[in-house]
Amino acid sequence: MSITRKSILIIGLILLADQTLKILVKTNMTLYQQIPILGNWGILHFVENNGMAFGLSLPGSLGKILLTSFRIVAVVGIGYYLRHLIRLKAHTGLIITLAMVMAGALGNIIDSIFYGLIFSSSSPMEASKLFPEAGGYSSLLHGKVVDMFYFPVIKGNYPDWFRGGSSFVFFRPVFNIADSSISVAVAIILFNQKRFFRHVAEAEPGQAEAPSPPED
């Protein structure tokens, strides 16, 4: 299988898994509902957010539009760069991980663009409906991103002299498959920079030799 087909397959599989789980969660769980999957250490916890990975966001309606627009531009840029790497016959690992980043970005873009149109609003009392007769809960580009993975591995309290002994949770953010795909891919790229970007080093012209000192 060619690297192009592998990249398309990876993007398709990640998108399928991401969107399938999001639709199942949104149509079968009420907002903030929790289902333990690894005891108290791993929980399906349905939340929605207006913005970036791990529940981060930009404020207001304009912030939402700007963030979604930025994501679209970023995905187009990643797509062009991915095509460039394939033509350049760059390291397979770099192409695959970049495809994972693209898939993750696309997964959350779909939520932001379309979910407000095709789903009814979620609440702590009722799960959402897909393609409701009354219409969606928002307009184009104003959909909320669905998150569900929550791993509060460590719970405890700070010392009394630090933050007054208040409680803490690690790992607090709630995320989805798209977020995971991006984070894992970026980590792999960072740990393999020298191997993955070897084509850049090979393309750089050799350093010119230092001139010989003038003879007396």
pLDDT tens for 143-184 read 999 999 999 988 888 888 887 778 878 788 999 999 999 999
Candidates 15, 43, 5, 64; CA nearest to 155 is 43
List 111, 147, 160, 216, catalytic entry: 147
Q: Which domain holds residue 104?
A: 3-199
Instruction: Provide the CA 88 distance to its chain's centre, in angstroms.
Output: 26
* Residue 125 is assigned to a structural domain of this protein: yes
CB-based contacts of 185, cutoff 8 Å, min separation 6? 97, 98, 100, 101, 104
* Residue 31 is assigned to a structural domain of this protein: yes
Q: What is the pLDDT of residues 63-109, one digit of tens each?
A: 777 888 888 999 999 999 999 999 999 999 999 999 999 999 999 99
Q: What is the pLDDT of residues 19-48, one digit of tens each?
A: 999 999 999 999 999 999 988 889 999 999
Provide φ and ψ at 56, rounded to 5°. Answer: -75, 155
Higher pLDDT: 205 or 14? It is 14
Q: Is residue 208 over pLDDT 50? A: no
Q: Is residue 53 over pLDDT 80? A: no
* Residue 78 is assigned to a structural domain of this protein: yes
Cα gap 49→112, rounded to integer Å: 10
Q: Is residue 57 over pLDDT 80? A: no
* Residue 206 is assigned to a structural domain of this protein: no
Provide φ and ψ at 73, rounded to 5°. Answer: -60, -40
Instruction: Provide the CA 152 distance to its chain's centre, in angstroms.
Output: 20
Cα gap 171→49, rounded to integer Å: 18
List 18, 111, 160, 179, catalytic entry: 179
* Residue 204 is assigned to a structural domain of this protein: no
User: Would you say 16 and 8 are in contact if contact means Cβ atoms under 8 Å apart?
Assistant: no
Q: Is 216 a catalytic residue?
A: no
The structural domain count of the chain equals 1
pTM of this structure: 0.85
